[in-house]
């Protein structure tokens, strides 16, 4: 079936697009940026989510539409409230309207655990507004939906907005990690490949018109995560805790606000956090130093880290 992924050139959307293609769907990616991860068979439309005509044309004939497009960074949303409202709320409303007109069977939205929290500023409020608008489209027009509330993601293709990538990059580039917060904050990390798998599984009927929580089973304090990264880097990293912006991030749990309760979707197997971080260390080494020494081996041009994976010899 035809599946449209808005924001499919980004970190999470590109992995979900891959998983959908692997499941045999016809994937069309709509994004303001061309996807560097486009696979054979995937179609690409470069366009703005605020362009009603372009969005309508793209969702024509689609059975399922995912929306990952918009401002995905809490700090950026906090600094750009009007753009956050435009891209996250108006943009999502334009997609909903196009889905209704095209008779789309399921609309899937990328929400966040921050909807439960008092933290998260405009990022959180735009996600809450979108969830309510999606419910209205269901009540008034019968548009079927699944709302995915993701936890803390990590893994290949992440950029500097991503906490784990950011810690590893700081550690490797400068030997020092500065964390805004006291490190006591608790997070449930989920590897992006596990999140992408779960994001496809929810297409079954049991998840129609449901809220689904997609977080990892690996709960960890940020302080312990930083100790883990430091140990993997031979204890050569200095960690400094700086004052936090309390309106941005939650401490122990996001669950303080009470929107509709979500079902938690956990896979039978999942990718291990330690192994996942090691993969990120390898790929950041390659970014920072073209000939890094890893485990005593000098990597040269005949070795490469493939899409965040451990270095592999290429023939
Ligand atoms: N990464 C996480 O940890 C996480 C956690 C919870 C929820 N989410 C949500 O998942 C979604 C994707 O997050 P991500 O981390 O992949 O972010 P990302 O920034 O990598 O992806 C967002 C994509 O949207 C595209 N985009 C932005 N403005 C657009 C516009 N006007 N028109 C068309 N495309 C536009 C960007 O080019 C980008 O490819 C976001 O809605 C985010 O809030 C992410």
CB of residue 207 inside a 6 A radius of ligand 1:
no
**Pocket lining: 33 vs ligand 1, CB cutoff 6 Å:** yes
Higher pLDDT, residue 258 or 16: 16
pLDDT of residue 278: 85
> Beta-carbon neighbour count of residue 276 at 10 Å?
24
**Domain that residue 75 falls in:** 2-151+191-215+259-270
pLDDT at position 251 is 66
Could you tell me if residue 168 is inside a domain? no
Does the CB atom of residue 112 touch ligand 1 within 6 A?
yes
Stated pTM of the model = 0.87
The residue that leads in pLDDT, 5 or 292, is 5
* Atom 21 in ligand 1: residue holding the nearest Cα: 10
Q: What is the pLDDT of residue 308?
A: 47
CB of 74 sitting under 6 A from ligand 1: no
Tell me, yes or no, whether 100 lies in a domain: yes
Ligand 1 pocket check for 70: Cβ under 6 Å: yes
Average pLDDT on 124-140 reads 97
- Any atom of ligand 1 within 6 Å of the Cβ of 32: yes
* Res 65: pLDDT: 98
Q: What is the per-residue pLDDT across 204-213, written as a single tens digit (0 to 9) for each?
A: 999 999 999 9
Q: For ligand 1, pick from 12, 52, 116 the residue to mutate: most ligand atoms within 8 Å of CB.
A: 12
Q: Give the per-residue pLDDT at 315.
A: 33
The residue count of the chain comes to: 315
Query: In what side-by-side order are the strands of the sheet with 64-67?
Result: 43-46, 26-31, 2-6, 64-67, 106-112, 145-150, 210-214, 263-264
Provide the domain count of the chain. Answer: 1
In this structure, is residue 68 part of a structural domain? yes
Q: What percent of the chain has pLDDT over 70?
A: 88
Percent of the chain whose pLDDT exceeds 90: 59
CB of 7 within 6 A of ligand 1: the answer is yes
CA gap 65, 109 in Å, rounded: 9
The Cα 84–Cα 92 span in angstroms is 11
Q: Mean pLDDT, the chain, as a whole number? A: 88
266 domain-assigned? yes
Whether the pLDDT of residue 188 is over 70: the answer is yes
Distance 112 CA to ligand 1 centre (A): 11
Residue 306, pLDDT above cutoff 50: no
> Is it the case that residue 309 has pLDDT exceeding 90?
no
Q: Return the pLDDT at 218.
A: 78
Whether 69 is in the pocket of ligand 1, judged by its Cβ within 6 Å, is yes
In a domain, 306, yes or no: no
Tens digits of residue pLDDT in 68-110 = 999 999 999 999 999 999 999 999 999 999 999 999 999 999 9
Distance (Å, rounded) from C-alpha 130 to C-alpha 92?
Answer: 7
Q: Which residue has its alpha carbon closest to ligand 1 atom 27? A: 70
Q: What is the mean pLDDT of residues 19-43?
A: 98
Task: State the average pLDDT over residues 259-273.
Answer: 77
d(CA 198, CA 16): 9
List the residue whose alpha carbon is closest to atom 41 of ligand 1: 68
Residue 182 lies in a domain: no
Q: Which pLDDT score, from 0 to 100, does residue 295 have?
A: 60
Provide the CATH number for the domain around residue 38.
3.40.50.720
Q: Is residue 308 part of a domain?
A: no
* pLDDT in the model for residue 299: 56
pLDDT at 279: 85
Pocket of ligand 1 contains residue 5 by CB under 6 Å: no
Find the 237 Cα to ligand 1 centroid distance in Å: 31
pLDDT reported for residue 38? 98
State if residue 218 touches ligand 1 by the CB under 6 angstroms criterion.
Answer: no
Q: Is 12 in the pocket of ligand 1 (CB under 6 A)?
A: yes
At 56 the pLDDT is 98
Establish if 46 belongs to a structural domain: yes
Q: Which of 182, 203, 150 is nearest to 20 (CA)?
A: 203
Q: At what angle do helices 91-102 and 121-141 cross, to 10 degrees?
A: 20
Using pLDDT thresholds of 50, 70 and 90, give the confidence band for residue 267. confident
Question: What is the 69 CA–ligand 1 centroid distance (Å)?
Answer: 5
Work out whether the CA dihedral 278, 180, 113, 133 comes out positive or negative.
negative
């Amino acid at each position: 079936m035809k599946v449209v992924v808005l924001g499919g050139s980004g970190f999470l959307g590109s992995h979900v697009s891959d998983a959908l293609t692997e499941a045999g769907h016809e994937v069309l990616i709509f994004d303001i940026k061309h996807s560097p991860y486009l696979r054979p068979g995937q179609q690409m439309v470069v366009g703005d989510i605020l362009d009603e005509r372009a969005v309508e044309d793209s969702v024509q004939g689609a059975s399922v539409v995912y929306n990952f497009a918009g401002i995905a960074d809490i700090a950026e949303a906090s600094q750009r409230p009007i753009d956050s409202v435009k891209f996250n709320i108006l943009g999502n409303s334009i997609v909903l309207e196009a889905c209704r007109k095209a008779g789309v069977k399921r609309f899937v939205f990328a929400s966040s655990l921050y909807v439960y929290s008092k933290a998260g500023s405009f990022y959180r409020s735009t996600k809450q507004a979108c969830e309510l608008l999606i419910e209205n489209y269901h009540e008034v027009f019968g548009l079927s939906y699944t709302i995915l509330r993701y936890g803390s993601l990590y893994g290949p293709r992440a950029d500097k907005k991503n906490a784990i990538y950011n810690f590893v990059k700081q550690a490797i580039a400068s030997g020092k990690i500065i964390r805004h917060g006291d490190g006591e904050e608790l997070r449930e990390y989920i590897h992006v490949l596990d999140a992408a798998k779960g994001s496809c599984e929810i297409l079954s009927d049991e998840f129609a018109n449901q809220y689904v929580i997609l977080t990892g089973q690996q709960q960890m304090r940020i302080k312990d995560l930083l100790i883990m990264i430091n140990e993997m880097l031979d204890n050569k990293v200095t960690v400094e805790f700086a004052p936090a912006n309390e309106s941005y991030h939650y401490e122990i749990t996001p669950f303080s606000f009470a929107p509709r309760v979500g079902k938690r979707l956990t896979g039978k197997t999942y990718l291990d956090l330690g192994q996942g971080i090691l993969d990120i260390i390898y790929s950041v080494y390659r970014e920072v130093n073209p000939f890094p020494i890893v485990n005593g081996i000098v990597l040269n041009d005949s070795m490469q880290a493939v899409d965040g994976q451990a270095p592999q010899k290429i023939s």
